[in-house]
């Protein structure tokens, strides 16, 4: 089975969270339709931070209930750039193990070059073939919105994190 992965982040207080939504290639189109179905009239996309709690619950229940997404969450306290870099390092092996061949990262223009550098270095260090990766704006692929929802939910903690727990493997990447 081959898959694609979609990455977004969320900062909350002193913690930083990077979440990855992994979707099998055969489920990508159906999941995009599902995600787009939550756009309100006139809305080009939805952004989880601006949604009402009732819509957040509805979206998360649909995504988790679809059975088409697994998630990785990397989080820690410290400088955002350090946590982000360590998250990218640690996601490589689990993504390759899940058959991911394409990685789509929500663009943070100031950080895109560093993301690429970290990925290249990690593939070289592991002596593993690199998967294809690109940075896109949030509107570039609706499945980035799932990564956004996962990152927001994981960073919110409590009932929100519990709502995605069934599909999420989480790892604290804070270095001692």
| Tens-digit pLDDT profile for residues 115-136 | 999 999 999 999 988 899 999 9
- The predicted-structure confidence for 38-71, as pLDDT tens digits, reads as follows 999 998 999 999 999 999 999 999 999 999 999 9
Task: Of 10-14, 47-51, 88-92, 127-131, give the lowest mean pLDDT range.
Answer: 127-131
CA 50 – CA 44 distance, rounded (Å)? 14
Q: Residue 133 in 3-state DSSP?
A: strand
* CA distance readout (Å), 9 to 66, 82, 115, 146, 171: 22, 13, 13, 11, 14
Check: CATH 3.40.718.10 for 3-172? no
Pairing between β-strand 168-172 and β-strand 100-106 as defined by DSSP bridges: unpaired
pTM over the 0.85 mark: yes
Q: What are the residue boundaries of the structural domains of the chain, listed by start?
A: 3-172
* CA distance readout (Å), 35 to 59, 64, 66, 130, 145: 8, 12, 11, 28, 8
CA 164 – CA 150 distance, rounded (Å)? 7
């Amino acid at each position: 089975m081959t898959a694609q992965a979609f990455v977004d982040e969320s900062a909350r207080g002193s913690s930083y969270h990077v979440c990855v939504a992994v979707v099998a290639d055969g489920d990508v189109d159906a999941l995009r339709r599902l995600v787009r179905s939550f756009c309100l009239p006139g809305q080009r996309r939805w952004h989880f931070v601006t949604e009402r709690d009732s819509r957040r619950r509805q979206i998360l229940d649909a995504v988790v209930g679809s059975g088409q997404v697994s998630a990785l969450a990397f989080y820690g306290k410290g400088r955002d750039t350090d946590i982000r870099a360590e998250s990218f390092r640690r996601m490589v092996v689990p993504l390759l193990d899940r058959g991911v061949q394409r990685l789509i990262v929500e663009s943070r223009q100031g950080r895109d070059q560093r993301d690429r550098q970290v990925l290249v270095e990690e593939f070289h260090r592991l002596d593993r073939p690199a998967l294809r990766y690109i940075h896109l704006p949030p509107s570039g692929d609706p499945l980035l919105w799932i990564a956004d929802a996962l990152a927001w939910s994981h960073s919110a903690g409590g009932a929100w994190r519990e709502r995605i727990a069934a599909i999420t493997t989480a790892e604290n990447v804070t270095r001692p």
